[in-house]
């Protein structure tokens, strides 16, 4: 079965500093990988996704992520954090099922705090 | 185009009461999902439906039932609510080939 690990429960970054959120996955085949963001009291918004091809993917709000198969990682990065980026970030891996559909397995999330 | 909508937004139940959480999508998606979100646990899949008329169990199905009423609607029922079901419930739907799931705003449920 697939799994996702986000090693950092909380991260605090100064506004304007760079950001990297870590994500490691376990899956037997080529994974579909996602990063979602959740602001307080809100639903989940897709930041970016990786299915195949270029291992560096660009997303919304200036975020990017790099798929590294050798390290089973899909880390999220942003060169300069804004106060509005404070939120919880979830990494997810998609897996095909023997039945008729595919499902997502989520990590437990990383809460990003932005200090002035 | 409202995307994925959920009702109610908030609900307080007493132990043993029943209720149904409603979800609808207007994106003509085939697949729909129910998740629960608990602090420190991420999102866990309760049930999903690959198409109208089909449903499958996810990671945490106990205590829940679902109905895929038609292509648009997918409801989640708690027959006898327990305090352990206090959570935030999210519905999602999926596009065809590219696996992206789109989420609703959530239902916050408190079971006393």
Q: What is the 3-state secondary structure (H, E, C) of A29-58?
A: CCCEEEEEEECCCCCEEEEEEECCCCCEEE
Instruction: Quickly state the pLDDT bin for A99 (edges 50, 70, 90).
Output: low
Residues in a beta bridge with A73 = A24, A68
The answer, for B54 touching chain A at a CB cutoff of 8 Å, is: yes
Give chain A positions within 8 Å (CB) of B100: 34, 46, 49
- Please check whether residue B27 touches A, CB under 8 A: no
Angstrom distance (rounded) from CA A97 to CA A113? 36
- Assess whether pLDDT exceeds 90 at residue A60: yes
Give the torsion through C-alpha atoms of A46, A59, A96, A75, to 10 deg.
Answer: -100
pLDDT of A114 above 90: yes
Tokens (6 digits) for A87: 């939120």
Whole-Å CA distances, A47 to A9, A58, A76, B80, B102: 19, 9, 10, 37, 11
Pairs of CB atoms within 8 A across A/B: 61
Query: B44-56: per-residue pLDDT in tens?
Result: 999 999 888 889 9
Question: In this structure, are residues A50 and A57 in contact, taking their beta carbons and an 8 Å threshold?
Answer: yes
Q: Could you give the CA distance from residue A66 to residue A91 in angstroms, rounded to a whole number?
A: 12
Residues B68-82: tens digit of each pLDDT: 989 999 999 999 999
């Amino acid at each position: 079965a697939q799994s996702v690990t986000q090693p950092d429960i909380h991260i605090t970054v100064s506004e304007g500093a760079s950001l990297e959120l870590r994500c490691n996955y376990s899956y037997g085949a080529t994974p579909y990988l996602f990063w979602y963001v959740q602001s307080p009291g809100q639903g989940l918004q897709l930041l970016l996704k990786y299915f195949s091809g270029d291992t560096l993917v660009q997303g919304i709000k200036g975020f990017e992520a790099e798929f590294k198969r050798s390290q089973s990682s899909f880390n999220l990065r942003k060169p300069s954090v804004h106060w509005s980026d404070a939120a919880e970030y979830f990494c997810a891996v998609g897996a095909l099922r023997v039945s008729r559909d595919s499902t997502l397995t989520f990590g437990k999330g990383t809460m990003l705090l932005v200090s002035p | 185009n409202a995307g994925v909508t959920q009702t109610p937004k908030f609900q307080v139940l007493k132990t043993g009461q029943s209720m149904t959480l409603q979800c609808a999508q207007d994106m003509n998606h085939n697949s729909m999902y129910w998740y629960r979100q608990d602090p420190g646990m991420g999102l866990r899949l309760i049930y999903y439906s690959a198409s109208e008329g089909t449903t499958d169990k996810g990671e945490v199905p106990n205590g829940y039932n679902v109905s895929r009423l038609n292509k648009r609607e997918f409801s989640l029922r708690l027959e006898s609510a327990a305090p352990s079901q206090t959570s935030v419930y999210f519905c999602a739907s999926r596009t065809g080939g590219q696996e992206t799931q789109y989420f609703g705003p959530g239902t916050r449920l408190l079971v006393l």
